[in-house]
Amino acid sequence: MNSTSSILALAKSTIQLQSESVGKLAEFLTDDFSETVNLILNSKGRVIITGIGKSAIIASKIVATLNSTGTPAIFMHAADAIHGDLGLILEDDVVICISKSGNTPEIKVLVPLIKNAKNKMIAITGNTDSFLGQQADYVLNTFVTQEACPNNLAPTTSTTAQLVMGDALAVCLLELRGFSSKDFAKYHPGGALGKKLYLRVNDLSGPNQKPQVTPDATLKEVIVEISEKMLGVTAVTEDNTIVGIITDGDLRRMLSKSDDISGLKAKDIMSTNPRRIEEDAMAIDAKELMEEFGISQLLVESEGKYAGVVHLHDLIREGII
């Protein structure tokens, strides 16, 4: 059995090697990169990204990143392209070919077909002198000195470099497009990231029950309201305006301190000036308030009137926490 120290040493050397290779990419950037960004930015078509083997997997990931940040993109496997999928490429599309060597058989067959169709072609390759590098209109150099694989064979460092170059393209494009957090939410409506950007407090509190009692409510009425509404809390209101709050914790503390509770009213045990939030505030703001004050519920208001309760469990359910 290998020792922990030897395993950790190998992992650290792998990470260090990849980190150094990624850092060197900045030195390889030329005008081809900025011209590529402008070409895609001004294109009336889509970005078609292709590759073979591990490069195809990287191509698929870059496509996903571009699509989610405002640049329409389609993945086309290089092997499938020369067996019928070339029909994916339309007149105004920009094609990006990804290949470490730039000399694979599929790429050598595919590149002339793209050139014949007169589509602009960008190469992401570690070999600028390769067939792909020489035929492309623009070349993005992802050269690495060696793979992290001890045999210098398995694509590791090279695919990391390809991925980073794709991310650099995507980030430049989203910045130049003025792609905002609201745009991001539009493309990610079902994910936790998107929810943090578009989900509002009312989206969470609206379906909840609305516990409330008057200041003169009896202790029994308070307990029944908290129990029935199942949020561990009730608002205390006058004319639907919040004047206080009573939580499960308030009840427990009251019972531990008082021997005679028969005459107690809601106003005797409520906490005044409770933490509250507007119903149109972002859900992420509710999360931050709960964390700041160490509480699990917030009373919700709408134009100064009591509108409900948002609970920590609502945020957990929606993936905000």
**CATH number of domain containing 110:** 3.40.50.10490
Domain boundary among 117, 147, 179: 179
Give pLDDT < 50 ranges for the chain.
Answer: none
pLDDT of residue 81: 85
pLDDT of residue 84: 77
Q: Are 238 and 157 in the same domain? A: no
Beta-strand relationship, 94-99 and 121-125? parallel
Sheet containing 276-278: give its strands across: 276-278, 297-302, 305-311
pLDDT of residue 86: 85
In a domain, 171, yes or no: yes
Q: Are 104 and 234 in the same domain? A: no
Q: Are 41 and 157 in the same domain? A: yes
Instruction: Measure the CA–CA gap between 50 and 283, rounded to whole angstroms.
Output: 40
Q: Are 19 and 126 in the same domain? A: yes
pLDDT of residue 190: 57
Q: Are 247 and 308 in the same domain? A: yes
Range of 307's domain? 198-317
Per residue, what are the HEC states of 237-288? EECCEEEEEEEHHHHHHHHHHCCCCCCCEHHHHCECCCCEEECCCEHHHHHH
pLDDT of residue 43: 94
pTM attached to this predicted model:
0.66
The answer to whether residues 107 and 131 touch, using CB atoms and an 8 Å cutoff, is yes
N-to-C CA span, the chain: 40
pLDDT of residue 253: 85
Residues constituting the chain: 321
Q: Are 22 and 163 in the same domain? A: yes
Q: Are 238 and 133 in the same domain? A: no
Helix axes 157-177, 4-28, angle to 10 degrees: 50
pLDDT of residue 92: 93
In a domain, 46, yes or no: yes
Indicate the number of domains in the chain.
2
Q: Are 155 and 296 in the same domain? A: no
In a domain, 41, yes or no: yes
pLDDT, one tens digit per residue, over 18-45 is 999 999 999 999 999 999 999 999 999 9
In a domain, 184, yes or no: no
Q: Are 211 and 158 in the same domain? A: no
